[in-house]
Amino acid sequence: MSKEYESLACKIVEYVGGKDNVNDVYHCQTRLRFKLADEEKADQKKLEDLDGVSKVMISGGVYQVIIGTHVKYVFEEIEKLIGPRKAEAGDRQEKSEKKSVMGVIIDFVSGTFQPVIPALSGAGMVKALLALLVVFGLISTESQTYYILNFFADGVFYFLPIMLAFTEAQKLKCNPILAASVAAIMLHPNWGTLVAAGEAVHLFGVVPLRLTLYTSSVIPIILVILVQSYVERWLEKHIPNAVKLVFVPMLTFLVMGTLGLAVLGPIGSVVGEYLGVFFNFLSENASWAPAVLVGAFLPIMVMFGLHNGVAPLGVMQMADLGYDSIFGPGCVCSNIAQGTAALVVAIRTKEAKIKQLSVSGGITALMGITEPVLYGVNLPKKYPLVAAMIGGGCGGLFAGLTHTHRFATGSSGLPAVLLYIGDDSIECLINICIALVISAVVTAVVTYLLSLKFETGISAEKGEEMPEFLQIETGKEIRREHGEVKAPLKGKLMTLEQIGDGVFSEGVLGQGCGIFPEEGKVYAPFEGTVVSVADTGHAIGIESEEGIQLLIHVGLDTVALQGEGFSPCVKEGDKVTCGQKLMDFELEKIAEKYPVVTAVIVTNSDDYETVTAGSPGTVSPEDTVLNVR
C-alpha cells in the first residue's frame, strides 16, 4: 500500500535537506519526526506546499511533518530512501539537546505508555463487544463464552506490568527481556499464593516482604525498572566480558527480585493506593473537573505534548478502579468539538485549500485523530480552535457532572462510545452520547458566530462577496486610534513569513514583522506600559497609549534557555518612553543554540483594519517598522 506514497516520500526527503541530512526519523499516529543534522537545509515552505502535508512544526529539536493517519505508509517509503538511521549521529544530537525537567518527565512517561496503547485498545474493544453481548441478552455472565472472552481482554491488564517493564526498558536503554523477566517474578503465581495465605514472608529469614499483589499495577513496576536500569549498567561495566552473559542476568534477578518485593514494589503499591484515594476523591467531590479541563484544553496540551503526561493517569485509574474518568470523557468531547469546528469552517470559508483540508481533517477528527485539522485549520485560523475549546469544555462538564466514565482504553472518536458500555449497563453510553451532542452543537454555533467576524469577504446574511467598505465595517471591530511602532532592535527587518516559525509566520498571534538583531539590546518602540515580562526573560509585552498591544519575542524556542542570556531592564506595570531600553541579551551566546530572529507582533491586530510592515532592510530604533491603522 505504501507505493502510492513513494512520490510524496521522495519530495519530503528532498525538502528536509536530503537523506544525508537525516540523523533519525520515526513517526507517531499522524506525523513524521525528523532529527536533522542541519535544520537550515530544510525548506519548510516547500514542505507545507506539498499535497499530503498539513503542517510543519519544529519542537524540542524535532522537525515534525504532519501527514495524517496514513503516516506509516509514507514512513515506509522514507525508510527505503534513507536506509538505516545514523544511530551515532542521532544519539549525539539527542544528548546535546537540553530539555526541561517537565519535558524529560513527559518524554519518559510517553515513551513508556504509548507502545502499549494498541494492546489496551484491542482489549478495550473486546470488553465493549462483551458488554454489548450481555446488554442485549445474547450471552450470560455465567456462560463459558463470557468467561473465556473476558480473559481475552483481561489478559492485557493482568500482565500490564510485564508490557510496561519492556517498554520502559526500551526507553531507558536497558535490556527489555531482563526487565520483563523481573516483572514476571513479581507476577508469579507462587507469590500470589503467599499473599493469599496472609502469613508473614521473610527472604533468608531476615528480609521482610510486604504481602502485595502486583497484577494490573503500574507504579511499582515503573519504580523497579527505573532502578534496574542503573543496576544493570553498573553490572555491565564491572563484570568481565567473559562471564557477563551469565552473571549480569543472574545478579539482576537476585538484586531486583529482592528490591522489587521488599522495597520498590511496596513503595509503588503505597503510591498507587494514594493515587486510588485521589481518584476516588475526584469522582466523589469534583467529578466535573478532569473532564472540563481535558475537554477544553486538550488542543493546547497536544501542541505542547502535555497530553502524553495526562493520558497515563487514565490508564492508572483504570488499572486501579476499573474505569477511566480522568482523560477519556474529556478527550472524546474535545476531539468531536475540533472535528465539528473544522466542518463548519468548510461551509463558511471561500479558500479552496482550507475547505478541502477542513472536510478531510474534520472527518478524521471525528474518528479520533485531530492533529491534521488542529495544525492545518483550527490553529492557523484561531477562531475555530477557540470555539472547539468552548464546546469541548461544555461537553466535558456534562460528562463530569453525570459521572460518565469509560470501561476500557481505546480511540477517542465516535467509535469510542462503545467503550462506555460496562457494569451491565448502558447509562454511561447514553451520557457520553449526550455530552458529544452538547460538544458538537455548542462548537458549531460558536464557530458560525465567530466566522461572521473572521471569515472576511463573506456576507453574514447570504455568504456573498461584499464590497471592501462593507468588509471593514462588519468584518472587524476597528479602533479609531492608530499609531506607529518603532524598531525595538537594531538589525535587519524581514516579513512575518520569513521568520520561519509556524505560530508567528502564519499570524496565529497577530500581524507584525521580524528583525534579525545586530546587537543584544531591546528598546521601547513607543510610549506605553509594560504589560508582561516572561519568567524566562526572552519576551516582553507592551501596550501603547493608543491601545496597540505589542509582543517582542527574542529568538525562536529560546524559552528552553530558562532565562540564560536574558536580562530584562523593566518589570510588569512600568511606564516607558519611546527608545527606553527594555532588555539586554547575550546575542552570540544565544545564537549558538537557537535562531535569534525576533518576532515583533501586534497581538490585537484584529482590532485594526491594517497592520503594515516597512520594507526589508537595516533598521535602527528611530525607524518605523509597523504602521497600525
Residue 560 domain-assigned (yes or no):
yes
Cα–Cα distance for residue pair 599/539, rounded to 1 Å: 9
**How sure is the predictor about 472, in pLDDT bands with cuts at 50, 70 and 90?**
very low
pLDDT of residue 475: 36
Report long-range pairs for 103-111 (Cβ below 8 Å, ≥24 apart): 103/60, 103/305, 105/309, 106/305, 106/306, 106/308, 106/309, 107/308, 108/171, 109/308, 109/309, 109/312, 110/305, 110/308, 110/309, 111/167, 111/168, 111/170, 111/171
pLDDT at 479: 43
CA–CA separation, 370 and 357 (whole Å): 12
Give the CATH number, domain containing residue 574.
2.70.70.10
On whether residue 478 sits in a domain, the answer given is: no
Domain boundary among 229, 264, 285: 285
| 467 belongs to a structural domain | no
What's the domain range around 55?
Answer: 2-97
Same domain assignment for residues 296 and 258 = no
pLDDT for the residue numbered 96:
40
Tens digit of each residue's pLDDT (9 = 90 or more) over 181-230? 999 999 999 998 999 998 999 998 889 998 888 888 888 999 999 999 99
pLDDT at res. 462: 36
Q: How far apart are CA 211 and CA 200, in angstroms?
A: 8
- Write out pLDDT tens, residues 403-441: 898 887 766 888 888 888 877 678 888 999 999 999 999
Span of 159-163, 258-262, 297-301, 606-610 with lowest mean pLDDT:
606-610
Please tell me the total count of domains within the chain. Answer: 4
What are the phi and psi torsion angles at 71 (to 5°)?
-60, -35
Pairwise CA distance, residues 44 & 23, whole Å: 18
pLDDT band per the 50, 70, 90 thresholds, residue 458: very low
**Is there a single domain that holds both residue 276 and residue 391?**
no
Let me know if 28 is a catalytic residue: yes
Q: Does the structure show a pLDDT above 60 at 561?
A: yes
Looking at residue 474, what is its pLDDT? 30
Query: Do 174 and 92 sit in the same domain of this protein?
Result: no
Q: Return the top range by mean pLDDT from 204-218, 244-258, 461-475.
A: 244-258
Least confident of 231-245, 472-486, 546-560: 472-486
Cα separation, 222 vs 186, in Å, equals 13
One domain for residues 271 and 388: no
Looking at the structure, do residues 57 and 79 belong to the same domain, yes or no?
yes
Based on the fold, state whether residues 167 and 75 are members of the same structural domain: no
Strands annotated E in 432-564: 483-486, 491-494, 511-517, 521-523, 528-533, 539-544, 549-553
Residue 124 lies in a domain: no
Give how far the C-alpha of residue 109 lies from the chain's centroid of Cα atoms, to the nearest Å.
Answer: 12
Q: What is the pTM of this model?
A: 0.52
Chain mean pLDDT for the chain = 82
C-alpha cell at position 457? 469577504
Answer yes or no: do 496 and 530 share one domain.
yes
Predicted confidence at residue 442, as pLDDT, reads 96
Catalytic one of 28, 433, 569, 578: 28
Residues 359 and 386 in one domain: yes
Phi, psi of 136 (to 5 degrees): -90, 10
CA distance 253 to 176: 13
**Residue 461 pLDDT:** 37
In terms of domains, do 196 and 296 share one?
Answer: no
Q: Domain of 25: which CATH number?
A: 3.30.1360.60
The cell for 547 is 491601545
Is 153 a member of any domain? no
Asked if pLDDT for residue 471 goes beyond 70, the answer is: no
C-alpha cell belonging to residue 308: 502524553
